[in-house]
Copies of this chain bind each other. A is one copy, B any other.
Amino acid sequence: MKDQVTIKDIAKRLNVSISTVSRALKDHPRIGAGTKARVLELARELDYQPNVLSLNLLNNRSNTIGIIVPKISYHFYSLAISGIEEVAIKAGYTIMICQSNESFAREVANTQDLTYSRVAGLIVSQAGGTQSHAHFQRVVDRGIPLIFFNRVCEELEVPKVIVDNYRAAYTAVEHLVEQGCRRIALLAGPSGLHISNQRLLGYLDALRTNGLPLREELISHSDFTHEEATRQTKALLGLPEPPDGIFAVSDRLAISAMTVVKARGLKIPEEVALVGFNNDPVASLVSPSLSSVDQDAFEIGKTAAQLFFSHLGAGPSAETRTIRTRLVVRESSDRRGAGKQEEG
């Protein structure tokens, strides 16, 4: 890398002091018009680029927001990140994205990297393999703004953006009941995650309210891999009394399940009805099309970023924003050929 042009170089060439150059570049009020013009001219000529690193050091913080998500290849997160980015850019901030890949160890390492880099704050969705929140507690203790979205850490009193997972799951399961399902399986997420538990509660309450018995064997906790979901669906279909409906906590899981169900020659939705979560674009592309709980990922990301900036400005808060979801009914669960949407 070549030596970069600094204000010192400009100062030397123009025979002025570096502070004069700084002021000219910064449009400072107390600066001669002629001097300013000459500085700007030379700066352009030399292709001067301000060194953000030195500013960051001076202020002991950067204009970068650190983001940690399980995987950017999950469509939900790529959209949420775009939402965060939109707000961040408008505020003159850039974002630094890390993937935990669902690994607790990587999440801890990511957190450290980002705090070492003195990011202005962190916006996080937890890894599935989460084991403790000590690393996040340290962030909070240092007074670094920390915002959670989607997969939040319930133990920390920080701003959060979520959907009402309990209610969304309740609505989805009740929809399956309305379609005539009596043995509804749950492809749940990792039990360490708050959202997993919320969705589980919604599932349980929907069964209870509708007078259906709880059958432990119909509940499968999983990581979010295709292999695991495939294995578990096979196990479910192999039960003496197999499910006639499956609610999966992500569309990826639901599609893995769908593949297994189709391979068994079972009719969807007549013999097994399916509902997923996220309303990923693939949901409408698969065949049969997949019913799914829609959550506006872009909006969730935007809201998280907004909470970050209000946290920055107004000081610590622990506000929780809840974003609406809606159930999008498609072929995979529509036994009456109606098609509809329910708030949830």
Contact = CB atoms under 8 A, between A and B. Distances in A.
Interface stretch (A94-102, A183-191, A228-236): A94-102
A108 to B, nearest CB: 13
A19 interface: no
A210 interface: no
A50 interface: yes
B116 A50 contact: yes
Contacts of A4: 60, 118, 142
Contact of A118 (B51, B99, B113, B143): B51
A1 B116 contact: no
A49 B287 contact: no
Interface residues of A, number: 49
Interface string A283-309: 001110000000000000000000000
A62 B54 CA distance: 12
Interface stretch (A24-32, A71-79, A123-131): A71-79
A320 interface: no
Contacts of A52: 116-118
Contacts of A255: 285
A81 interface: yes
A47 interface: yes
A239 interface: no
Each complex incorporates copies of this chain amounting to: 2
A52 B96 CA distance: 15
Contacts of A281: 282
Given A116-B51, A117-B94, A72 B81 contact: yes
A1 B50 CA distance: 25
A143 B47 CA distance: 13
A196 B285 CA distance: 26
B73 A78 contact: yes
Interface in A63-119: 64, 71-73, 75, 78-79, 81-82, 85, 94-99, 112-113, 115-118
A88 to B, nearest CB: 11
A256 B118 CA distance: 44
Contacts of A286: 285-287
A79 B73 contact: yes
A324 interface: no
Nearest to A298: B73
Contact of A82 (B73, B112, B285): B73
A1 B79 contact: no
Contacts of A141: 47
Given A118-B52, A287-B287, A1 B57 contact: no
A281 B73 CA distance: 11
Given A73-B79, A78-B78, 5 more contacts: A2-B143, A51-B60, A53-B57, A71-B82, A285-B286
